[in-house]
Chain A
Amino acid sequence: MEAAVFILSLVDCCALIFLSVYFIITLSDLECDYINARACCSKLNKWVIPEMIGQCLSTVLMLVSMHWFIFLLNLPVAAWNIYRHLKVPMGNMGVFDPTEIHNRGQLKSHMKEAMIKLGYHLLCFFIYLYSMILALIND
């Protein structure tokens, strides 16, 4: 059972890692002017909710399986994702807004956020991997 939880988390985590990489690539494309702001934002906005769900899934999994430490590790990121989604102003087209992304250094802060998430997901990946192996051995 324990192993199953971690295997699921591991898969989820992989997906999140890929998503982070995708975010970084797309944002840097925008930075380099390979795509325009509109295309970039519509691409990225599509993935904001899947990312949120993925993060919440692993958080809930950890809560259910009562791994408190990992749960607490996941909680802030999940909370941030939800908060970010909820605080989007009514007039904006999503977390990534093409009319705003070039203003006030938003592009940079989005990029920074994606980088941090990538690092965080990598960390989680190894934690899950370790825990999974441990669980498999214990079985």
Chain B
Amino acid sequence: MSTAGFNSQNGTGTGQAYANGPSQNPVGLQQLPGVSYGMTHQPTYNPMQAKAPAPPGPGLYPTAAYQSGPPVSSYQSGPAHTSYPPPPGQPLLTRPAMGTPPSHTPPQSASPNHGPRMPLPRATPPPPAVSSSSYYSNPQQQPIAPSWQYNTAPAPMGPPPSLSAPPCGPLANHTNPSSSSTVPPPPTLTAYSSPQPAYGSHSATQPPGPRMPSTSHLGYTQPGAAPPPLNPMLSHTYQPSRPAYGPPPTGPPPLGPPPAGPSPAMTSTPPSTAPPLANVTPPPPKADAQCREAVNSTLSPTEPDCQESDIECPGTLAGNGPQSPNNFNSIDNKMAGLPQPGLPGRHLGHYPSLPPGYQNAAAPHKPTSPMHPTMQAATQPYSQTTQPYQQPHGGPGPAQLSPSLAALSLQSSSPEALRVVNLLQERNLLPPGPIPAPTPCLPQDLQKINCNPEVFRCTLTSIPQTQSLLNKAKMPLGLLLHPFKDLSLPVVTSSTIVRCRSCRTYINPFVSFLDQRRWKCNLCYRVNDVPEEFMYNPVSRSYGEPHKRPEVQNATIEFIAPSEYMLRPPQPAVYLFLLDVSHNAVETGYLTVFCQSLLDNINALPGDSRTKVGFITFDSTIHFYNLQEGLSQPQMLIVSDIEDIFLPTPDSLLVNLNECKELVQDLLRSLPSLFEKTMETQSALGSALQAAFKLLSPTGGRMSVFQTQLPNLGVGALQSREDPNQRASAKDIQHLSPATDFYKKLALDCSGQQVAVDLFLLSSQYCDLASLGCISRYSAGSVYYYPSYHHQHNPAQVERFQKELKRYLTRKIGFEAVMRIRCTKGLSIHTFHGNFFVRSTDLLSLPNVNPDAGFAVQMSIEENLDDMQVVSFQAALLYTSSKGERRIRVHTLCLPVVNSLSDVFAGADVQAMAGLLACMAVDRSVTASLSDARDALTNAAIDSLSSYRQSVLTIQQPGLLAPACLRFFPLYVLALLKQKAYRTGTSTRLDERVFAMCQLKYQPLAYAMLMIHPALYRVDDLTDEGALNINERTIPQPRVLQLSVEKLSREGAFLMDTGMVLYLWIGRNCHPNFLTQVLGVPSYATVPENLYLLPELDTAESQRIRAFIGWLRDQRPFFPTLHVIRDESQLKASFMQNMIEDRTESALSYYEFLLHLQQQISK
């Protein structure tokens, strides 16, 4: 609310625009933070950040502000915020303390926070500087002339009035927010009166602004003082553009409209400047700091973010946004200006930038400015970035820093995220390391306890308020989950699990406690009672602090469920192995490896004393193994009637592992030799599955199927649908959908009986994975595919099979699981991706759940989220552990709601979007066609970028512009188009394609991203610089290179990590030292053709690279094979196909793709 108030103040200045601001209070809040101007920022921050600060004081949730705020209308929350803000705000105020001019530093720092202080600060010089920036923002956001004019007018007015007015303004604002937070109109009215004040503030800022601009200008144009260097960073873009325009065109026009304004401004400027100057002296140091910050801006997200967010907010909000940005800008300007006292006129320049029309003018000006032409495009972004910087400036004082930092952290994502990037000109987009998930723009205390992005991630970290806003943004909205990830969690044992009585949501950190005895659900807003037991906190052993309970302190938690959560006694761990023993299978030699792995790990199978195992083998007949206790050796029972399958001895086929371990081990030792001589080539997989289903259906459990050929006998027989000659030439790929519904039906039967089927496909032939895969997809199993598996010819695959089988056998497992995904009222889930059966609208049936499974859902906004500040999502996974415990794992994610398009863009999580788009494209490929899916992928990039260009960018520059947070989007889309699943024109086996599709849907995002966009490292010059130290092993961290052949050099060696496969490419002129020290060969020519293991040499180079590869492998649940390749290697083609940025015969290069996008966007 306070922000709103601020807005109103500003708004008053702007007039209608502001009015909008206030009306949009919620938005205003967000924006305001961004705006930060003095007041607005603070307020906004307060709302957002307020929580953070507030918590410390009052205690996290409990206290009202947060609680009251979130649940109900935004307005309410607003007020709550206001309440919060006071604490933060006040401090700020104090700092600004009006700034005690002495401390410009304080003012600066304050400036962001200042919202409340504003008036005071304004009195101080800083505000003026801000004003100029504010103009920018204003124009950008709202082209509306009036607002702009207002701004300008105020600006002129500003300095003098500002001092007097500002105080009023703030006050008015504050009052407004609180009193009329909901009512936009009143603010507007007041705004008018107040607007002037606001303007005044602006103007005040302007006066300083002039200096600021001047400084900035100076920096560019003139070397200026020492400070300039700093300034350049900050102001580059602005300054050039702004100064150029501003002064000449804009300045005058704006002034014109508000007659009083201009002249005053003019007059005022000098005075103001003078004070600023005085102030300035202190700032310089800050400026430096700012500069550094600016430099680091990219590096240090938090600060920039805050600033950015502020900026964004302003931008988005027509009225409010601009002001707030202005504030930032002004601050920046101040910063910049401080060093260079000087050019008052330039403020005007700022103004010009604001109005759209001006923008055009600006463009020309920019050229004039010596700076970078490219910068022009980026001007806005820069300005934004600068703003962030500015904030830091503002907060030079250590004391100030902490609050301002808090604010920053809250807004962190926005500032940097919205920096405009011209993709056509930025060649080196990739950061040297992994790309972190964006941080939602939440109050710090909420964000601190929010769910880990590895577990729960949303494509938009700022949820749009309405479906129409979402449609406008043209970005997919969805969640990506990895719910059963191996984690160490707090586990709660409690006889009653506290849940909402109407929507059954589990109590979580984002609920609000109305008082000690009642809590309000954050999903449906029902008020519930706190049960007596919940009053006692087992952690602190204290009574009466329900908000300190672990359930309310952890976004991820596990409950041990009482008996109400059991429909039947928890099932034992049951494992059934279904082994193909046809001639083909024996040829591959997998049976030996399987039996050996199981023998090795038989004691590590998760389970308890009730664990059961069973074995079935099949070729054209089905063989059961009677392992009943008391037998001297396993007894094989052959059923040849595959049409009407029956179980020969139902009781003794699944046996207790502990009681019959000897027999099981006997069987495993004899199995490989049992079928050595078999000549049976047929495979009756369908019947074997039916038999296995019958065997498992009384208990449920896990069925592991090992298949090596196309099932061709009995039910579920399939025919080869692939024409190898069509692989590369076919215009459209056929047969991506199943050929029969047999496997799907069986999977649903399995799902109903809590049986999951995991499929291991080891085959060199076409196996119709599209049909077979259904058995796993709908029973929540997993699919493993080992193309060209052979125990002699393909040792790399054998190693992979061994390692993955070990992980498979010993990993954690949950039985008879269901997962429900709930979201705040108004949001609904409409599509699910992953392996499971959707039993009802939000309930996923997961007969087994394993730690390596990822899920994705798409959401829509059914009702407007008008009065909400945050929304929450909760995924609750109920499962039976292998020890027979019923457990519930609950993840809760909380995200802010925004109502402006630029905020939506600022919150985009490009990796999550790529992951979700990949899932959507799989669906599209199956239901429509592959070419449809490819078009849809391309269109996704075109739509979101053109929407950004049309709706968010106010300055239209040539080039392909994207916000910084989406800068990888075209790259990922292109990578998807070249991914095995979607590529065309290159020979891709149908099974491999289908498997790639399964993987994209099934893998958690972190692994899916590697499959989409592999990582390339140079490894011949690994050093310990920046290395990680894990378990006393030093793991070098080479930087990630772009996927382009231009990055390869004949003198080097490169490692490409595609998730499932690692390629070590050796350049022809690779340093002999590397060859001898790492590969153990004397020369390039002697590198073996099929090298898949690095020799364990006792050299530093060898240890480094093996440590690095080992580390890469340890990070994932599957085992990527390593291939050492040379120029002549067969695998070179598959290595080169991953060079996504390069042109291939059938696909565009990255640059061409960008040009294509640009062409489509500008249509």
A36 to chain B, nearest CB (A): 5
B463 to chain A, nearest CB (A): 20
One of B741, B770, B830, B837 near A92 (C-beta < 8 A): B741
When the two chains form their complex, are residues A103 and B748 in contact, meaning their CB atoms are under 8 A apart? no
One of B739, B840, B843 near A90 (C-beta < 8 A): B739
Distance, CA A10 to CA B263, complexed state (A): 85
Give A30's nearest chain B residue, CB to CB: B840
Tell me, yes or no, whether B815 is within 8 Å of chain A by CB: no
Distance, CA A92 to CA B843, complexed state (A): 21
B839-857 CB mask vs A (1 if < 8 Å, else 0) is 1110100000000000000
Distance, CA A98 to CA B774, complexed state (A): 13
When the two chains form their complex, are residues A91 and B744 in contact, meaning their CB atoms are under 8 A apart? yes
- From residue 61 to 94 of chain A, which have CB atoms closer than 8 A to chain B? 89-93
Tell me, yes or no, whether B59 is within 8 Å of chain A by CB: no
Listed in ascending order, the chain B residues whose CB lies under 8 Å from chain A are 737-741, 744-745, 748, 752, 770-771, 774, 778, 830-832, 837-841, 843, 923, 927
B999 to chain A, nearest CB (A): 19
One of B778, B830, B840, B927 near A33 (C-beta < 8 A): B840
Tell me, yes or no, whether A31 is within 8 Å of chain B by CB: yes
Within 8 Å CB of A103, what residues of B? 830-832, 838, 923
One of A38, A90, A93, A107 near B737 (C-beta < 8 A): A90
One of B837, B841, B927 near A99 (C-beta < 8 A): B837
Interface centre among A92, A99, A105 (most CB of B within 10 A): A99
Give B845's nearest chain A residue, CB to CB: A36
One of A31, A33, A93 near B741 (C-beta < 8 A): A93
Give A89's nearest chain B residue, CB to CB: B737
When the two chains form their complex, are residues B748 and A99 in contact, meaning their CB atoms are under 8 A apart? yes
Distance, CA A102 to CA B771, complexed state (A): 21
When the two chains form their complex, are residues A93 and B838 in contact, meaning their CB atoms are under 8 A apart? no
Contacts A93-B741, A103-B923: A36 and B840 contacting too (C-beta < 8 A)?
yes
Distance, CA A105 to CA B467, complexed state (A): 15
When the two chains form their complex, are residues B741 and A98 in contact, meaning their CB atoms are under 8 A apart? no
Within 8 Å CB of B839, what residues of A? 36-38
Within 8 Å CB of A104, what residues of B? 830-831, 923
Within 8 Å CB of A89, what residues of B? 737-738, 927
When the two chains form their complex, are residues A99 and B840 in contact, meaning their CB atoms are under 8 A apart? no
Distance, CA A93 to CA B747, complexed state (A): 12
Distance, CA A107 to CA B744, complexed state (A): 19
B617 to chain A, nearest CB (A): 28
Within 8 Å CB of A91, what residues of B? 737-741, 744, 770-771, 774
Distance, CA A98 to CA B836, complexed state (A): 12
Contacts A38-B748, A93-B745, A105-B830: A98 and B837 contacting too (C-beta < 8 A)?
yes
Give A108's nearest chain B residue, CB to CB: B830
Extra contacts besides A37-B838, A90-B739, A99-B838 (5): CB < 8 Å: A37-B840, A98-B837, A102-B831, A103-B831, A103-B832
Within 8 Å CB of B840, what residues of A? 30, 33, 36-37, 102
Within 8 Å CB of A98, what residues of B? 748, 837
A22-40 CB mask vs B (1 if < 8 Å, else 0) is 0000000011010011100
Could you jot down 5 A-B contacts, CB within 8 Å?
A: A89-B738, A91-B744, A91-B770, A98-B748, A103-B830
Distance, CA A38 to CA B841, complexed state (A): 12
Within 8 Å CB of A99, what residues of B? 744, 748, 778, 837-838
Summarize B's interface: helix, strand, loop or mixed: mixed
One of A33, A90, A102, A107 near B738 (C-beta < 8 A): A90
Distance, CA A76 to CA B858, complexed state (A): 34
Within 8 Å CB of B752, what residues of A? 38
Distance, CA A17 to CA B771, complexed state (A): 38
Within 8 Å CB of B740, what residues of A? 90-91
Distance, CA A9 to CA B752, complexed state (A): 42
When the two chains form their complex, are residues A93 and B744 in contact, meaning their CB atoms are under 8 A apart? yes
Interface centre among B739, B748, B771 (most CB of A within 10 A): B748
Give A107's nearest chain B residue, CB to CB: B841
A28 to chain B, nearest CB (A): 12
When the two chains form their complex, are residues A33 and B737 in contact, meaning their CB atoms are under 8 A apart? no
A93 to chain B, nearest CB (A): 5
Distance, CA A102 to CA B845, complexed state (A): 13
Give B926's nearest chain A residue, CB to CB: A89
Within 8 Å CB of B770, what residues of A? 91
The 10 closest A-B pairs by CB, nearest first: A91-B738, A102-B838, A33-B840, A103-B831, A36-B839, A93-B741, A91-B737, A89-B737, A104-B831, A105-B830
Within 8 Å CB of A37, what residues of B? 837-840
When the two chains form their complex, are residues B832 and A102 in contact, meaning their CB atoms are under 8 A apart? yes
Give B770's nearest chain A residue, CB to CB: A91
Distance, CA A30 to CA B840, complexed state (A): 7
A26 to chain B, nearest CB (A): 14
Interface centre among B737, B837, B840 (most CB of A within 10 A): B840
Within 8 Å CB of B838, what residues of A? 37, 99, 102-103
A47 to chain B, nearest CB (A): 18
Distance, CA A107 to CA B770, complexed state (A): 25
Distance, CA A10 to CA B923, complexed state (A): 42
Interface centre among A30, A31, A33, A104 (most CB of B within 10 A): A104
Within 8 Å CB of B923, what residues of A? 103-104
Distance, CA A83 to CA B737, complexed state (A): 19
Give A36's nearest chain B residue, CB to CB: B839
Give B771's nearest chain A residue, CB to CB: A91
Give B828's nearest chain A residue, CB to CB: A105
B678 to chain A, nearest CB (A): 32
Within 8 Å CB of B832, what residues of A? 102-103
Distance, CA A105 to CA B923, complexed state (A): 13
B864 to chain A, nearest CB (A): 19
Within 8 Å CB of A38, what residues of B? 748, 752, 837, 839
B106 to chain A, nearest CB (A): 55
B922 to chain A, nearest CB (A): 12
Within 8 Å CB of A30, what residues of B? 840
Within 8 Å CB of A107, what residues of B? 841
Distance, CA A79 to CA B927, complexed state (A): 21
Give A90's nearest chain B residue, CB to CB: B739
Distance, CA A99 to CA B926, complexed state (A): 14
Interface centre among B741, B837, B843, B923 (most CB of A within 10 A): B741
Within 8 Å CB of A105, what residues of B? 830-831
Distance, CA A23 to CA B1096, complexed state (A): 68
Give A94's nearest chain B residue, CB to CB: B741
Distance, CA A103 to CA B923, complexed state (A): 10
Give B735's nearest chain A residue, CB to CB: A90
Give B745's nearest chain A residue, CB to CB: A93
When the two chains form their complex, are residues B744 and A31 in contact, meaning their CB atoms are under 8 A apart? no
Within 8 Å CB of B830, what residues of A? 103-105
Within 8 Å CB of B843, what residues of A? 33
Give B738's nearest chain A residue, CB to CB: A91
Distance, CA A90 to CA B719, complexed state (A): 13
When the two chains form their complex, are residues B744 and A33 in contact, meaning their CB atoms are under 8 A apart? no
- From residue 26 to 59 of chain A, which have CB atoms closer than 8 A to chain B? 30-31, 33, 36-38
Distance, CA A93 to CA B746, complexed state (A): 11
Within 8 Å CB of B748, what residues of A? 38, 98-99
Give B836's nearest chain A residue, CB to CB: A99
Contacts A31-B841, A98-B837: A90 and B741 contacting too (C-beta < 8 A)?
yes
Distance, CA A73 to CA B840, complexed state (A): 37
Distance, CA A91 to CA B189, complexed state (A): 64
Distance, CA A116 to CA B966, complexed state (A): 42
Within 8 Å CB of B831, what residues of A? 102-105
Give A99's nearest chain B residue, CB to CB: B778
Distance, CA A31 to CA B842, complexed state (A): 10
Give B839's nearest chain A residue, CB to CB: A36
B1145 to chain A, nearest CB (A): 32
